[in-house]
Structure 1
Amino acid sequence: MSLRLRLFLILALATGGIWFSAVLWIEHSTRAQVQQVLDARLAEAARMVSSLLSDRRIAMAGEGAPVAIPLDAHGDYAHQLSCQIWSLQGSLVGQSEGAPQAQLSAAHGTGYSESTVDGETWRVYTVENTTLGVRVMVGDSLAVRDKLVSGVIEGLLLPLAVILPLLAAAIWVSVGRGLAPMHRLAEALRLRSPGDLGPLPAGPVPAEMRPMRAALDGLFGRLAKAREAERDFTAFAAHELKTPLAGLRTQAQIARIAPDEATRARALQNIERSVDRTDRMVRQLLELSAVESAGEAPGHADLGRLSEEICADLTPLAEARGVLLRSDVPQGASAPLRASGFLLHTALRNLVENAVQASPEGATVRISLQGGVLRVEDAGPGIPPELRARVCERFVRGTAGGDGSGLGLAIAAAAMDRLGGTLELPQSIGEGQRAELHLPPA
């Protein structure tokens, strides 16, 4: 169902409901007012007849048929009234034309009453003229009253039958005009090129659409940044892969034309080193992609076991560089995680691998736990002050030279961000650098 049709139905039903309620209220109010007015006319007619009798302007019958009572002084409604004059002894002494033969009201006394005569219900007002010894009764049929009320309601419903279709058309057109800014926005979005991620054109916007417009502009801004980061990532990755590949080609040419065995062996060693560097960078690129797409999997991490596994995995690398790996994380230590444990494993492994790569031969890389902070300490040269602010960016190396790709700290920072924790690199004092993984609170 379209939004326009939904709004139209809501407004049409609401308007129809209000009109229906108004008709019911008018019917009830009109009926009460008509009853009040007609009751007043009954009393007025009865008193008028009693007054005419007292003034001898209407003669009462003595013997024989009752005298006819004229009731033409009040217009058309008077023709619907019936009048009877009864003596206090119970004989009919006068009646109007069309009045029933039976007594209009059997109630004694004066005032209003209702009675059923010949199967028809009457509303009657009675006046006693004690001077003349008669009782004057003026009544009208309730069916006549209902007909009068129905006529009033029909007079309201007939214009309503004409107005409602016009009102529905007006609502349909108004809803369409009200939604016109949304249609213009949709058309502007449809006509935008895929590469256009700038803000929407400036112009007057309804207050209700400003949050949506601001959200779209924010989304376009984030998409533009993500696309720019993707382009930079692709360019940096291509450059970083090109460098070892060019070195591999050069060293292969040197090995092929080497004049002696020592030159050939050195070239092959450089080839192996370039392959290792390329392999590490490809692995880190895959890890970075996995970190950015890791889903939610809350649980607990066994920090002691995690630290030992990483040390076991990196022992061959550490032995090749003459570095000792040491884990001081107590057994049984655990921490709650808000996301996949793969993220913490990736962050800690990259920090330890960076520490091994940065440490000189004979140094020790130590993993420890203090409170909710995992620490990795090395004996390397540390991070230069001029690089400290950018060291967690992709392809930014924290040390001059070396075989790193500049992805390790970026991966660790991204993984901790997904976990809800942080990576901190305190200022090194003396030799070495300390990296801290602040785990998220429970």
Structure 2
Amino acid sequence: MSAGAVGLWGIAGLFALLLIRVPVAFAMFLVGFLGIWHLNGWNAAMGLLASETFTLASSPELVIIPLFILMGNVAGHTGMSRQLYDAAYALIGQVRGGLASATVIGCGGFAALSGSSVASALTMGKVSLAEMNRFGYDTRLSTGVVAAGGTLGILIPPSTGFVIYAILTEQSIGRLFLAGVFPGLLLLTAFVLTITILCWIRPEFGPAGPATTLTEKRRALAGAFPILSVILLTIGGIYAGFFSPVEAAGVGAGLVILYGVLTRRLDVRAFWAACKDSIVTTATVMLILIAAHLINPFLALSHIPTVVGEALDALNLGVLGTLAVILLVYMILGCFLEGFAMLVLTLPIFFPVVMELGVDPIWFGVLVVLTLEMGLISPPVGINVFIVKSVAPDVPLGRIFRGVLPFWAAMMVTLAVLVAFPQISLILPDTMFN
């Protein structure tokens, strides 16, 4: 059997394992190890298993993952997410759809602390769904906006998706973080415009909330000042060159913990719970990364990336045409696979192709992460939809999926804009490093 045939059988076996719900990391471990054993012998497979595991686990850049995850978990336990939502609600809650727009803004702010879409959707769902239901919001809008707003966690820095992309492609984490700022704000704005249009067409979808006084607005903004300060300090520090991404993660986590202690909102039990959640999430990400570094050599040995590159080149679609095909593949896979699984499975195949075409790897990273976001609300998997379903068990799943459709369309428009205007993604990283 040729190396290419072994590679195709390996990919087919990997998808089969994923379909029967074998955890992503273990499925990749199994396929990668057996594939290398078949193509290069037992000693090569065992050597790679030992060396890649140690090399990746001892990488200092990966410290950023547990620190940012801890920062987000502590922020959730100290009520900082609620304060951000209250501030947005006080400013725009009195207009039609204002509560939904406040939820999107709250999701964007919490995403800038947690870097996790699931955490953003879960936290903001608990905070905002009851309020929107109390004021008579249509459940399609209320649940759809939480599911879609949660996706901002994978694009607005700090983003775990960008960290994994950087590790797999050997790109700068700092450049990727900065590249995600304007696209994240653009997508947040697109979501708010979508809410405004929906409530203009169907006013009953998002009734206006009660007006707030100037004193109440000031009080709410003052309550959100700590979380906004942490966000500006960490991201602004990276941009200004004061911190590396790892140092920014440490500063951010330390400030959030200090805030919780000083305000007496973070006791030992809450801190222990935040640490346990951070450890579990970090271990999951690390297992996936280690498994990815085992399956990547197998794909290289089987020449699958070369075959795919030659096939795309034979289509003669040009740079934008090839890029469109790759993004379409990501959208289709997003209907069935979890985002991190897609990254580790596809980047070894597609990244050499886009490098051959001369595509900027930072720009490509932003486009890929945005398409991963779309998968988070795409049926039938749509993990954020199921997260919202767990918070709102009385809302039918189909109704939530219908609620996210306008926001999925907004993401498509945003993706098209970012493809047409690469500088939206590149202006900050190019400014920082030039």
Between structures 1 and 2, the one with greater strand share: 1
With the length of structure 1 as denominator, give the TM-score of the two structures.
Answer: 0.26
Larger Rg: 1
Structure of higher RCO (CA pairs closer than 8 Å, 6+ residues apart): 2
In terms of fraction of residues, the more helix-rich structure is 2
TM-score scaled by structure 2?
0.26
